[in-house]
């Protein structure tokens, strides 16, 4: 039986800004781009969330919801350094660490000798040390697998710890809303609701074959998750192949002009994610993804193209022409070259 901890920093960027400038504390604030430049919110503190402000929201919309919101520009190098310090703490308990972002990671402590192998006490100590050394808080979830550990870390946010023991899995998962399942977005959740499925207990009434007929390959995944089954291991060397952002719109974008209008905001979000990459990656081919109102979709990329606004406009225009229908989702991204792999190959040939 694995012992998995999921650690998630609480409003990470905003927490660092409030730590470094106490005047920002106890007032609505966010980290993001300027509203007059189609900026996007990267994260915000809990005071701002009380007004409905959230990450990936346009800064303009955030200010409409909360006129007193203070938006500060991100300091990515500072956030990266704090992330490195947090991971340094992780490595004192286990080498089996799977980073998901600067502020989030899975830890496999199944064989850790610390605290007599107690994952709960390890999570408590990590939280204590992050608070003491870095003066920010993290939430933690402890469970027998990654799926449940990630849900658990969100259960008592902010600054919380929630544990799901093997004996508790059955009852916990039975009562879990299907909207909490990994990979269930709004569209899938709506379809499940139409089928009369609102909880994992409801989902268990469906056979694996029936779910596969309704949801394709994801149906088998749903069948497993409804029973608390997740065999994925913590991937220590989980090298990325792409970086992308995408948005599903509440109302379909009617034409190409409406799609092009959303492009600068998407690219600003993409730039923020690219800034989080370490130096072992090099951005390569740009690509766009378009999902039309009838759920058909297309992805288009171009080798040798620049990663500027004009290049993405051309890609988006070509991709849109493949369907020429109202659009429900737009995505932009970049293929990555793994420089570490290239370096290892060069060293091999140099021997």
Say what angle helices 76-90 and 119-134 make with each other, to 10 degrees: 140
Task: Given the residues 104, 167, 220, 246, select the one marked as catalytic.
Answer: 104
Nearest Cα residue to 135 out of 22, 48, 32: 22
Mode of pairing for the β-strands spanning 4-9 and 138-143:
antiparallel
Cα 68 to Cα 283: distance, rounded to the nearest angstrom: 37
The reply to whether 8 sits in an annotated binding site is yes
Cα 291 to Cα 172: distance, rounded to the nearest angstrom: 35
Q: Is 60 helix (H, G, I), strand (E, B) or coil?
A: helix
Under a CB-based contact definition with an 8 Å cutoff, are residues 111 and 154 in contact?
no
Under a CB-based contact definition with an 8 Å cutoff, are residues 323 and 295 in contact?
no
Residue 230 phi, psi (nearest 5): -155, 105
Query: Is 246 among the residues known to form the active site?
Result: no
The reply to whether 250 sits in an annotated binding site is no
Partners of 242 in the β-ladder: 335
Under a CB-based contact definition with an 8 Å cutoff, are residues 142 and 161 in contact?
yes
The residues annotated with a catalytic role in the active site are: 104
Binding residues for Mg(2+): 8, 103
């Amino acid at each position: 039986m694995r012992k998995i901890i999921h650690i998630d920093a609480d409003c990470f960027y905003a927490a660092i800004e409030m730590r470094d400038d106490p005047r920002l504390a106890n007032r609505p604030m966010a980290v993001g781009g300027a509203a007059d430049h189609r900026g996007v919110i990267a994260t915000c503190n809990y005071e701002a969330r009380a007004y409905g402000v959230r990450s990936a929201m346009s800064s303009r919309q955030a200010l409409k919801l909360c006129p007193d919101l203070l938006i500060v520009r991100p300091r990515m190098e500072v956030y990266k350094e704090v992330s490195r310090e947090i991971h340094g703490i992780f490595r004192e308990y286990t080498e089996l660490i799977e980073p998901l972002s600067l502020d989030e990671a899975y830890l496999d402590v199944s064989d850790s000798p610390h605290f007599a192998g107690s994952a709960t006490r390890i999570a408590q100590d990590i939280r204590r040390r992050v608070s003491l050394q870095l003066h920010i808080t993290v939430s933690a979830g402890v469970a027998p697998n990654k799926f449940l550990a990630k849900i658990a870390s969100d259960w008592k946010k902010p600054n919380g710890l929630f544990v799901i023991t093997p004996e508790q899995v059955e009852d916990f998962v039975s009562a879990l809303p299907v909207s909490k399942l990994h990979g269930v977005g709004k569209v899938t959740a709506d379809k499940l609701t139409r089928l009369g499925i609102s909880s994992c207990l409801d989902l268990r009434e469906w056979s694996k074959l029936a779910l596969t007929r309704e949801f394709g390959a994801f149906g088998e995944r749903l069948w497993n998750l409804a029973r608390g089954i997740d065999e994925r291991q913590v991937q220590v060397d989980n090298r990325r192949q792409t970086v992308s952002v995408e948005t599903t719109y509440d109302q379909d974008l009617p034409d190409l002009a409406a799609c092009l209008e959303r492009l600068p905001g998407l690219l600003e979000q993409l730039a923020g994610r690219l800034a989080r990459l370490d130096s072992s990656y090099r951005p390569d081919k740009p690509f766009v993804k378009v999902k039309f109102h009838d759920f058909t979709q297309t992805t288009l990329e171009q080798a040798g193209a620049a990663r500027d606004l004009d290049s993405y406009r051309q890609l988006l225009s070509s991709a849109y022409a493949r369907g020429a229908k109202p659009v429900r989702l737009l995505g932009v991204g970049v293929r990555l070259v793994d420089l570490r792999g290239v370096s290892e190959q060069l060293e091999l040939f140099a021997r």
